Amino acid sequence: MPPPSSGGIALISMLNMMEPMFFDSVGWHSAQHIQMLAEVEKRAYADRSVWLGDSDFFEVPQEKLLSTAYAARRMADYDSLSVTPSDSIYPLNDRELADIQIETHESEETTHFSVVDKWGNAVSVTTTLNWSFGSYVTVEGYGFLLNNEMDDFSSKPGEPNSFGLIGNDANAIEPKKRMLSSMTPTILTRDGKVVLVVGAPGGSTIITTVLQVINNMVDFGMPVHDAVNVPRFHHQWRPDVIYYGPGAISHETMLVLRNMGYEFEPRYGYGEVNAISRDKIFGGWIGAPDLKTASHGAAY
């Protein structure tokens, strides 16, 4: 529960403080167990005394208190073998709180996010710098990077770009022309209602990644988590090979396909899918991040 209760923030901050602790070998209500919780609780309640109140009257630093950086800072003086007396645990002061840097993850290259609100409105967004840190040029005073999107143009007919994609006149460089992208932010509807919001980074593999998530769900009946997290493969015409992720194609299947004339090449990294799908049974929404990556889902 959010302010004016301290419950939600204190609970989550304590769970964050407990995150690095191992409970497997700790007996329930053993001295060790009680020491672990007591040390966490003291620290959370110390900050409760100063930093929590009705947020209509007091600016509660909610984001900070809920961050893992805060938990790490708060537990910096924790020792699993000793007691820190309450007299030496102070609420963090303004400066100490300000020094806590909240970690935000932003992809170095292409980012996809999917959103659905409580009314079922959906947004599917992909944005790209092309390669990591784009052109490495930051706009002074604004702090954002310029892309290196010129690579998405076809520099010469038949000449592959950095993703191995071939292009021609349609995608030749011309003044004021925009380069051909593979970004595929997608919303699937059934009877006018959103059933899937999906997209991914991954250069040339973006399109086949989204294709396979849809194919997995619609034609193979997979729940969205499986549809996103099963391994994938990819063919982009040139080179004439099937790229495959770890575990995507069994040895036997590959033998059959090799006999048919297909060539294979292992490849890592097939986009970080971020999908949301309607739960068929309960009717709510399920966020399905690609668990192999830094993606994550959240509900508010």
Contact positions toward ligand DON, by CB under 6 A?
A: 109-110, 128, 130, 149, 152, 181-183, 201-203, 206
Give the residue with the Cβ less far from ligand DON, 62 or 181. 181
Is residue 185 within 8 A of residue 171, CB to CB? The reply is: no
Burial class (CB in 10 A: 0-12, 13-18, 19+), 213: buried
Taking the complex as a whole, the smallest distance from the CB of residue 137 to ligand DON amounts, in Å, to 16
Is position 110 annotated as part of the catalytic site?
yes
Peptide bond between residue 3 and the one before it cis (omega within 30 degrees of 0): no
Q: Are strands 285-289 and 274-278 parallel, antiparallel or unpaired?
A: antiparallel
Active-site residue, from 68, 84, 104, 110: 110
Give the residue with the Cβ less far from ligand DON, 102 or 172. 172
Q: What angle do CA 129, 131, 202 make, to 5 degrees?
A: 90
Taking the complex as a whole, the smallest distance from the CB of residue 289 to ligand DON amounts, in Å, to 16
Taking the complex as a whole, the smallest distance from the CB of residue 128 to ligand DON amounts, in Å, to 4
Taking the complex as a whole, the smallest distance from the CB of residue 234 to ligand DON amounts, in Å, to 13
Per-residue burial over 152-188, b = 16 or more CB atoms within 10 Å of its CB, e = otherwise: bbbeeeeebbebebbbeeebeeeeeeebeebbbbbbb
Give the residue with the Cβ less far from ligand DON, 149 or 226. 149
Taking the complex as a whole, the smallest distance from the CB of residue 114 to ligand DON amounts, in Å, to 16
CA–CA gap between residue 272 and residue 296 (Å, rounded): 10
Give the residue with the Cβ less far from ligand DON, 116 or 275. 275
Sheet strands (E) in the chain: 110-116, 122-128, 186-190, 193-198, 233-234, 242-244, 264-266, 274-278, 285-289
| Phi, psi (deg, nearest 5) at residue 71 | -60, -45
Taking the complex as a whole, the smallest distance from the CB of residue 232 to ligand DON amounts, in Å, to 14
- Length of the chain, in residues: 300
CA–CA gap between residue 150 and residue 266 (Å, rounded): 27
CA–CA gap between residue 271 and residue 198 (Å, rounded): 11
Give the residue with the Cβ less far from ligand DON, 182 or 216. 182
Residue type at 294 in one-letter notation: A
- 292 CB-side CA count, 13 A: 14
Residue type at 152 in one-letter notation: D
Give the residue with the Cβ less far from ligand DON, 206 or 275. 206
Residues with active-site annotation: 110
